[in-house]
Structure 1
Amino acid sequence: GYSSPQTIYLDTLTVMDPDFSFVASYDIDNLPVDDIDLTVEHGYIQPVNSDLYVNPVTGNDSNSGINPGDPLKTITYAYKIIKSDSITPHRIYLANGTYSGSMNGEKLPLGPRSYISVIGSGIDSTFIDGEYNTGFFLGIGTLKNYTIENITFQHGKWNHPSGIYIQNNNFVRIKNFEIKDGGYSASGGITLIKIDLLILKNIFIKNIVSYGVLGLSNWAATTKTFTIENCIIQNNLPDEDPINTGLEGGGLKIGGNSSPPYSYIGKITNLQITDNLRIPDPGWGPGMIGGYTQSNYCKVDMINATIGYNTVQGEFGFAANANNGAELNVYNSIFYGDSLNELSLGYQNCPVPSEANISYSNFEGGFGNTYVWDSSVLNWLEGNIDADPKWDTSSTITYSLQWDSPCIDAGTPMYEFGMDYPYIKIEDEKIVLYKIDGDTIHLPQTDIAGNPRIVNGRIDMGAYEFQDTGVRIREQFLQNLNELNIDVFPNPFHSHTFISFVLVKKADVKVLIHDARGSVVKSLLDGSLPSGKYNLTWPGQDDSGNEAENGAYLVSVYVDGIKMGSEKVVKNSSR
């Protein structure tokens, strides 16, 4: 049971005026109870009213820590001595290096404090290492207004729920954070419960053994909000014995309250969930989810997501699901290559219907590759396509778009007079999406890779925007392709290929051949021509007369300075 309110007199405590991080009382739901009347005669530590600096190599916890030249050694001690001040929030700055029990005596997991942020030097230089023994961060209670930023947590393992476990905190920001190469309990790598004003930005979760690697939920009666921007969840796996351990694998899980109204409302932009594996317990029944699950009364707008090649080993699996009163609105996204299927609503014998609204997105198999259980509603709106997205698997950014992807310039259109929702406007230099209900969302200026979000006047589908470096290698004016009647034959070719097109009126015409990088290889024609049919020959050479390499090229026809059409051609010479 729980005790009655207590009056406590202490001769000595860590600090004279303890905040919630030093002394706390909780109820059964981990909510704080203000039922302790505490009197302290002496404080062991005098709190430092300043930012602090920590260096795991050159630092010492007997130093002042108030400047980089006199750093502390452990984050644990910095958290203990720094003053929590709502008027002047403080930061703990971490130098490059590895922070762990064996390296610098770090005591993990760390416990957050209100108004105190911990800021690393970068995810490629500041590492907190659990050494396969512990988690990273544990925050429970009414803590508020802090940031975790520029840190990688690796090699974690914890019998408690997660690498990061935060509950009942408010205004929490996690930015530029990577968690990788660890194993956790059935609650996941990062678990965030009943947090209002939650912001996740630039989050990378890779190679984690768990049951869902990122979980957000709010089952409280009060509505709370969250924002996810730039998040990659990739290559996460189940345990070797998932049926018995519960570590089934999977990706992102979002949950609300079991009864209306919506208790959790969120916005997700620039999301990648790829190459994750889930092996569910057969006892769950059919329809299990491998990449994204949204349950109970929560409402999510998902914009510019790339969800691909996630696998569910079991009967009738799906990449994504919304159930039990959830609402999912998808814009400018790609769902492709997942096994077995892409999207479902509800589940077998689900008691409450859900709703999904899909527009200007690429779904493999289209509407037919979705499944709607019972009375749930799937609204298949304008602009959806079913096509190979042509991800650039040969590049370092595997899920970026190739130059001939059908997802380029295929997202929500820019506003034109009289247009119905949805559409995009540029307002005060901001990208504003007008949703299907007329409400608005400000979109990031960049894609998930940090490149400009809108190139060539219209947003792409997916997390990555195709970048127009130099000459644009794509049919910008597909509607004019039939008018030109461009033909390339033979294709592929060995020694020569013949290029023909029809010009309907007198014009200045250029015919250029580009390689896959966008560089001009050959200028076949540059001049003023009357209307008529034209035939050109390309012997597979560049402008210097040297034989071009084997591979793909683009033949583009420009009329009066505007590219009116293009055709891909493959050179395959035996030499």
Structure 2
Amino acid sequence: TGSTAATWSIPDDTATIQAGLDLAAPGDTVLVATGTYFMDDLQIFQGVLLRSASGQPEDVIFDGQHQSRLLKILAVADTVRIEAITLRNGAASGIDDDARGGAVFIVESPVRFRDCRFDNNTATGAGGAICIDAAPLVELVACKLANNTALAPGIAAPGGAIAMYAHTSEGSLVLDGCVLDGNLSGGPGGAIYVDDGGLYLTDTEVTGSRSGQVSWSAGAGIFARRNHASEQGPEAPNLEVRLTNCRIADNTGRVVAAPYAGDGGGILIKGFDKDNIYEVLVTDTVFEGNFNAQGAGLYMGRYSDGLISRCRFLDNRAYLNGGGAVKGGRWPWCGGETARFEYCEFIGNEAGYDETGQTSPELGMGGGFYTRYYPRAEFINCSFADNRSGGTLHQGDAICHNSEGRTFVNDLHRCLIVNSVFYGVNGLDVQVYASDDGFTSVSYSAWEAGEYVCDGVVPTDIIDLTGSPWFGPTDLRLRETAPFIDQGTAMGISPDLAGTAVPAGSGTDMGAYEWILISGVDQGTAPTAVSRLTAVPNPFNPRTTVSFDLARAGRVQLDFHDLAGRRVRRLLAADLPAGPHSVVWDGRDDSGRGLASAVYFMRLTMPGRTESGRVLLIR
């Protein structure tokens, strides 16, 4: 015999939600009618589905009235699913577990949230909205967490929105298609705090978070750290941090008397020891406008190793070092853990400046990137534009590798630069600075004469720039006159930052973008009739905004084509006035069908002129 999952409707079948949950068996569904429900530590005992009857999160609201936590899930074996519910004004206070998880407290239970909203929840301990302890897996899909707070006087409470403790479970936190905005913590992790767990973010935005309101501002947006050795021993697989197609922006750490406690503005990642590292993979992600003491965009600390591919570091600012990013390590135990950057761009990042942009009274090394304590960093086809170092010791507007007076032991501690381009007009120092013998090699790259300092390492196949090779200060596509087109060395990496295929063998360009001919546009100068055609975000899912600026009025047509050249969508055909314009593409064809993941060509046509570009749709 078997059993059939039941559905319990609230209030038709039971008067209260708790009564329905008490009656539900594993696999059952509890449907909640439209309304606002005032909650006080509702508890789920079985692996059930709890959802709004309408399927709309705004229709069912769990409200704690700033007096009580909303929900707890303790030691449930089967996955608990919560869908299309708003959880707001929850409050966790007191001591120990009572202070954790303002909206939801999860212990030793797998949980999946879908299309939920977490608004204005507070905790005096960890996790303003959600606190997770020893759970194997917690997933959030298409959820929004806004204005949640982990804060109490004198307590460095972590995780403004989410805090996860996974030492005993080595579980994972997964976010897909989520938005975290305006969350705040007294300690590290303004939005997300992960202790000894795996972290996976896809198509997710972490914006406007603030950390360290009491002390220890590390990870203003996201904090991921291994604080213990694996209980499975040295043969255990390493934990992972993965970000795919994310935006990490405008997160701010409070720099206090001990500024070195403020590592990581966008995200901080640190392992425990050489047998318990974090493996890192960050792709197609933007770090923009973040601030903290060091590594304002990305801080990969000791015992972290991995790849950063097709990412953009824009206008991040560090009070000390590493405006765009930092790779840290612990001397002398660093075993060659590496941050490898491929087809990334660093634009307008600053080191040695305070939150307002004034010069800080501290060091200011590595406007774009900084290394310390002998970690290793590699830059393959990266572009650096108008980054700057400041403070009391400005070294390396783009890159600084500082040995701190020690001797490099072997190549496990030296950096690599190949096929990369450096140019800026706002800096105070050379573009690339390293302590003696700080690189294994520097080759096939371009900068202005005198913009490189590293005694003992002579760069090879270098092209001297005499002006900007790019369309504009923030548009790092190559002009047709760029002197390093086809002058790079093949690295076997494709595509570039824009999704353009990189030719195998000879013909590789330097920098983050392969040069492509844009039909009808004089690439020796910036376009005049129509300015840069852009799509943001790119790659995208589910939609991207295509923008352009017309110098004069005219008939405009915007089409998208697949790789075979077939037109799949005519998005625009209209007479437009001069000025800026934008239109949204949702990844559908002319018949309304969703297109598959692929590169698509966009083509903007007006009388006598055409501009084209590429977008990457990721499903």
- TM-score w.r.t. length of structure 1: 0.55
- Indicate the SS of the match to 1:293: strand
Task: Give structure 1 stretches of 5+ with no counterpart.
Answer: 1-42, 239-245, 347-351, 413-422, 425-431, 433-442, 476-575
* CA deviation vs aligned residue, 1:46-78 (integer Å, no higher than 9, x gap): 364899999763565699997796557489639
Tell me the C-alpha RMSD between the 2 structures.
Answer: 4.2
Give the corresponding residue for 2:296: 213
Matches within 5 A, 1:103-502: 108-112=160-164, 114-121=170-177, 126-130=179-183, 135-141=190-196, 143-144=197-198, 146-159=199-212, 160-162=217-219, 163-168=221-226, 170-185=239-254, 186-189=262-265, 190-194=267-271, 195-211=277-293, 212-219=295-302, 224-237=304-317, 250-259=323-332, 262-279=335-352, 288-314=365-391, 317-319=395-397, 320-324=399-403, 325=408, 326-337=413-424, 339=427, 340-346=429-435, 354-365=438-449, 368-372=450-454, 377-393=456-472, 398-412=475-489, 423-424=490-491, 432=492, 443=493, 445-454=494-503, 458-470=507-519
Q: Is the 8 A contact 1:47 1:81 kept in 2?
A: no
- Indicate the SS of the match to 2:104: helix
CA shift, 1:362, in A, is 0.9
Flag the 1:461–1:473 CA change in 2: closer, same or farther, 3 A: farther
CA shift, 1:453, in A, is 3.2
- Indicate the SS of the match to 1:111: strand
Give the corresponding residue for 2:45: 46
- Indicate the SS of the match to 2:245: strand
Q: Is the 8 A contact 1:275 1:308 kept in 2?
A: yes
Give the corresponding residue for 2:148: 101
Give the corresponding residue for 1:33: none
Flag the 1:219–1:108 CA change in 2: closer, same or farther, 3 A: closer
- Indicate the SS of the match to 2:289: strand
Q: Is the 8 A contact 2:181 2:209 kept in 1?
A: no
CA shift, 1:385, in A, is 4.0
Flag the 1:176–1:284 CA change in 2: closer, same or farther, 3 A: same
CA shift, 1:447, in A, is 1.7
Matched residues in 1 for 2:417 and 2:105: separation? 43
Flag the 1:70–1:261 CA change in 2: closer, same or farther, 3 A: closer
Say whether 1:83 aligns with 2:140: no
Flag the 1:181–1:59 CA change in 2: closer, same or farther, 3 A: farther
Matched residues in 2 for 1:52 and 1:198: separation? 34
Give the aligned residue type for 1:302.
Answer: F
Flag the 1:299–1:456 CA change in 2: closer, same or farther, 3 A: closer
CA shift, 1:149, in A, is 1.9
Give the corresponding residue for 2:601: none
Flag the 1:99–1:136 CA change in 2: closer, same or farther, 3 A: same
Matched residues in 2 for 1:68 and 1:199: separation? 29
CA shift, 1:343, in A, is 0.9
* CA deviation vs aligned residue, 1:436-494 (integer Å, no higher than 9, x gap): xxxxxxx2x3222233234996222111222334589789xxxxxxxxxxxxxxxxxxx
Task: Give structure 2 stretches of 5+ with no counterpart.
Answer: 1-41, 63-69, 74-78, 89-100, 113-134, 150-158, 228-238, 255-261, 272-276, 354-358, 525-619
Matched residues in 1 for 2:270 and 2:402: separation? 19
Q: Is the 8 A contact 1:45 1:81 kept in 2?
A: no
Give the corresponding residue for 1:511: none
Matched residues in 1 for 2:107 and 2:60: separation? 16
Matched residues in 2 for 1:153 and 1:353: separation? 38
CA shift, 1:127, in A, is 4.0
Give the aligned residue type for 2:190.
Answer: G
Matched residues in 2 for 1:52 and 1:161: separation? 36
Q: Is the 8 A contact 2:80 2:111 kept in 1?
A: no
Flag the 1:50–1:401 CA change in 2: closer, same or farther, 3 A: farther
Matched residues in 1 for 2:139 and 2:56: separation? 11
Q: Is the 8 A contact 1:410 1:458 kept in 2?
A: yes
- Indicate the SS of the match to 2:139: strand
Flag the 1:97–1:70 CA change in 2: closer, same or farther, 3 A: closer
Flag the 1:290–1:474 CA change in 2: closer, same or farther, 3 A: closer
Matched residues in 2 for 1:247 and 1:328: separation? 21
Q: Is the 8 A contact 1:334 1:461 kept in 2?
A: yes
Flag the 1:456–1:260 CA change in 2: closer, same or farther, 3 A: closer
Give the aligned residue type for 2:289.
Answer: N
Flag the 1:323–1:332 CA change in 2: closer, same or farther, 3 A: same
CA shift, 1:167, in A, is 0.8
Flag the 1:52–1:181 CA change in 2: closer, same or farther, 3 A: farther
Range with bigger deviation, 326-335 or 69-78: 69-78
Matched residues in 2 for 1:226 and 1:47: separation? 39
CA shift, 1:383, in A, is 4.9
Give % identity. Answer: 18
Range with bigger deviation, 59-68 or 262-271: 59-68
Flag the 1:282–1:157 CA change in 2: closer, same or farther, 3 A: closer
Matched residues in 1 for 2:347 and 2:292: separation? 16
- Indicate the SS of the match to 1:119: strand
- Indicate the SS of the match to 2:500: coil
* CA deviation vs aligned residue, 1:64-94 (integer Å, no higher than 9, x gap): 9977965574896396685189xx9856243
* CA deviation vs aligned residue, 1:325-345 (integer Å, no higher than 9, x gap): 331111111111151211111
- Indicate the SS of the match to 2:244: strand
Flag the 1:150–1:250 CA change in 2: closer, same or farther, 3 A: same
Matched residues in 2 for 1:68 and 1:296: separation? 45
* CA deviation vs aligned residue, 1:253-281 (integer Å, no higher than 9, x gap): 11122116634223211221111233367
Matched residues in 2 for 1:303 and 1:50: separation? 47
Matched residues in 1 for 2:352 and 2:388: separation? 8
Flag the 1:359–1:49 CA change in 2: closer, same or farther, 3 A: farther
Matched residues in 1 for 2:316 and 2:160: separation? 23
